[in-house]
Amino acid sequence: MLRRGNRGSARRAAGTDMTVGDQPVRGVGVRQVISRHRETQRCYRIDPAAFACPTMVGQLADEWVAYARAMALADAARYAAAIRGFGAFVADAAHGAGLDPTLARLEDGPVDLTEALHGWELSLQQRYGPTSSRPYELVNAILTLIAHRGARGAAVSEPLRARAAGRPLSGRGAIVPLDEFSNAERLRLRRWARADVTALEDRLARGRALLAQGVDPRLGGWSQPANLVWAARHGLLNTQALAAELPAKVTAWPPALRAMLPAGTGTYHGRYGLLMTVAGLLFPSETDLQPFRVLLLLATSRITPEELHDLRLDDIEFTDGGVRLLQRKARAGRHRVRLHRDTPNLASPAAGGAPSAGQASSDSDEHGDGEGEPEIEAHRGHGRWDVPGLLRRLLATTATTREAFDAQPWLFLAVESRARRTMLGAAVARFKREPRRFTHWIVAHQHAEPPGPQPDASTTAAESADESPQPVISLPHDVRRLRKTAKTARVAALGGTLSDLAGDDHHVEVFRGHYAHGTTAHVLAASAINQAQDKVFRRAADHPVFLDTDVQDRLGSPNTAPDTAAEVGLTAEQATAIATGAADMGLTHCRDPYDSPHTPTSGVCHVAPAMCLLCPNAVVTTAQLPRLLRLAEHIDVQRTALDPRQWQALWGRQARALAELFAEIPDLIEAARHLPHRPEDELDLPLGMRTEYHR
């Protein structure tokens, strides 16, 4: 194997030959795959000569190149990492078994690659742990390349071909779905981001004022901040120029320049600190653009972080009603056009124009498929904190960057130092390097913010109350939680139904796997269950209670009557009255005719039996079922005799109550239909009910 210091000698051009053992091996050379992401080109290389088993690595690398071309792979790095890892493991395993690793190949050979693949997978599981998906990804990459080689008709051993047809032993890893931020955390993040945006705009305004005063420092001198700002705008400012014009010791600098150096620990000092401070007066960095990213994801639920980062200037079109965005979702392989509307002018710009959760999320599809979203009838204004307003302000903050550097199409265009911290350059903000990530932004604010609520001008009293005491932003600090927070805030504003949670841009399975687990979803689901239960209880309370034959027999027995009466919600006196027929009101029995919900006074009920089927005091026994069947027939006759609206007003609720009662006891109803006719089963309605309804 190669040792330190002789790596360069092992580099060969693709297609060159080398000797393995006593046999020459042809086609061993550097393999490479070029991928492109966000206009950035990356080249991944594998040199089989750098491994102790070059034949096998070369075969896998050849399949990698062919598979990448055939499938247009976007993730070439994963396959390269898998080949390197498997090649190193096979070499160690062959040495441990006393075999020559150079003889390892995908066709039949002395090195059992099937056993080596099994051992490699076990070692990956031990290395990454049971919850990681990395072992599955690496092993699946090797199996895919072997299967691709076999499908092309190349030589592959039968055991290895059979193994490639199977799946990795390890699973995809335990994926813990992300939960949304709480409402107090959402308000806190929004307050931090708004304060940062305002501070950035003030800083850039000071920089523009200095730029208007500055001149070329080669003529006006390097001791004036305005001249340094002018040099930064025209590409003359770098650490070499500062080293040539300023003393080596910071204490010897002019006071105006020393005052510009950043204060505090963890910041850059000296010439580089001065360089970044001057650049910050004109050009926002990745850290400066992080608040815009936070606010945009909180302001709408209709764009993902991936789509937001990939926005270009050509994808943005401002209209009279808002802004139209061409959003590219690489994972789904689709483009979609969204219209993000302006929020109404419900708050003045001076006060911050803070939209509510429902207003902030009232964006819709370009083609009008946003069913279920609230329609805003008020005049649509140009808010400062809605999606169109934030995009306008973001473009304004990066305008100087686009003028000073080569025109780049990205919306999130940041200026950072290049070439060993000597000069400035503009590039798309990735928010992945330290200390520019979302978690660094959160931690910096948590350390800087004093304890106690700090409401801004646009925070209402209710929102301020939600933030006391202030929470620590929960982990993980994942930017995807911002979108989930925006979605759940919109759902809460719309009333919290499951259809609102799923939204118009998700399938049921996507909602189930990514949104149904959230705390807000659980709370809203519990609320929906409670509402349904209350509805059932209210319906049950407005209908008669049915006592079957077994309950009636137990009510008639002195031994079981007290306990049975308590079970069905009756007192001993009420049970006795029902058993003896003293509480019979014509259609049903009544628990207490002096406590009728349909009679406002404390007198006896005067609406029986017309309203008995809609009274919680009513009790039905099996002996009254034939009479109720006669009532149902009478109601059907009235349906043909009366106007439909009149019948619905007079008999509709009674008909529904009878249908529900009959549906609960279908066997007893069928038996009652076949009972012989008895005089006591005749329907004896008061004359008022019979004559009034026939007018």
> Do residues 206 and 281 lie in contact, with contact meaning Cβ atoms separated by under 8 Å?
yes
Q: Which three-class secondary structure state does DSSP give residue 424?
A: strand
In one-letter notation, the amino acid at residue 640 is T
In this prediction, residue 23 carries a pLDDT of 41
pLDDT beyond 60 at 198: yes
Average pLDDT for the chain? 75
Phi-psi group of 149: left, alpha or beta (phi > 0 → left; psi -120 to 50 → alpha; rest → beta): alpha
**Quick one: pLDDT at residue 636?**
85
Residue 239 pLDDT level (bands cut at 50, 70, 90): confident
Please identify which residue in the block is written with the tokens 């086609």. 27
In this model, does residue 537 exceed pLDDT 60? no
Please state whether the peptide bond connecting residue 666 to the residue before it is cis, i.e. omega within 30 degrees of 0: no
All residues at 6 or more sequence positions from 577 whose CB lies less than 8 Å from its CB, including other chains: 583, 589
List, in sequence order, every residue forming a beta bridge with 416; answer none if it has no partner: 425
Listed in sequence order, the residues at least 6 apart from 494 whose beta carbon sits closer than 8 Å to its beta carbon are: 358, 372, 374, 500
Angle between helices 113-128 and 134-151 (to 10 degrees): 160
* Whether the predicted pLDDT of 292 surpasses 90: yes
Distance CA 616, CA 544 (A): 6
Half-sphere exposure of 117 (CA within 13 A, CB side): 29
Report residue 5's pLDDT band, with 50, 70 and 90 as the boundaries: very low
CA distance 273 to 260: 9
Residue 660: predicted pLDDT: 84
Closest CA to 243 of 498, 14, 482, 420: 420
H helices within 112-237, ranges in order? 113-128, 134-151, 158-164, 183-213, 217-220, 225-233
Query: How many Cβ atoms sit within 10 Å of the Cβ of residue 25?
Result: 17
| Average pLDDT of span 25-34 | 68
Q: How confident is the model at residue 143 (pLDDT cuts 50, 70, 90)?
A: very high
Q: Is 421 left (phi over 0), alpha (psi -120 to 50) or beta?
A: left
Long-range contacts of residues 446-449, Cβ cutoff 8 Å, at least 24 apart: 446/472, 446/473, 449/192
Q: What is the model's pTM? A: 0.57
Number of CB atoms found within 10 A of residue 685's CB? 16
Q: Find the helix or strand (DSSP H, E) in which 5 lies.
A: none
What are the pLDDT digits (tens) for 568-594?
777 778 887 877 777 777 788 888 777
pLDDT by residue (tens digit) across 387-417?
Answer: 888 999 999 999 998 888 877 788 888 888 7
pLDDT of residue 208: 92
Residue 236 has pLDDT above 80, yes or no: yes
How does pLDDT run across 240-286, given as a tens digit for each residue?
A: 888 888 888 888 888 888 888 877 645 567 888 888 888 889 999 88
Question: Any idea what DSSP says for residue 584?
Answer: B
- H-helix or E-strand containing 537? helix 519-541
Residue position matching structure tokens 């393995």: 20
- Residue 33 pLDDT greater than 80, yes or no: yes
Residue 199, pLDDT score:
93
- Kindly report which listed range (79-93, 466-480, 609-623) carries the lowest average pLDDT score: 466-480
Is 139 exposed, middle or buried (CB count within 10 Å of its CB: 0-12, 13-18, 19+)? buried
Q: Which range (417-421, 441-445, 539-543, 667-671) has the least confidence?
A: 539-543
Q: How far is CA 218 from CA 274, 278, 320, 498, in A?
A: 18, 17, 47, 66
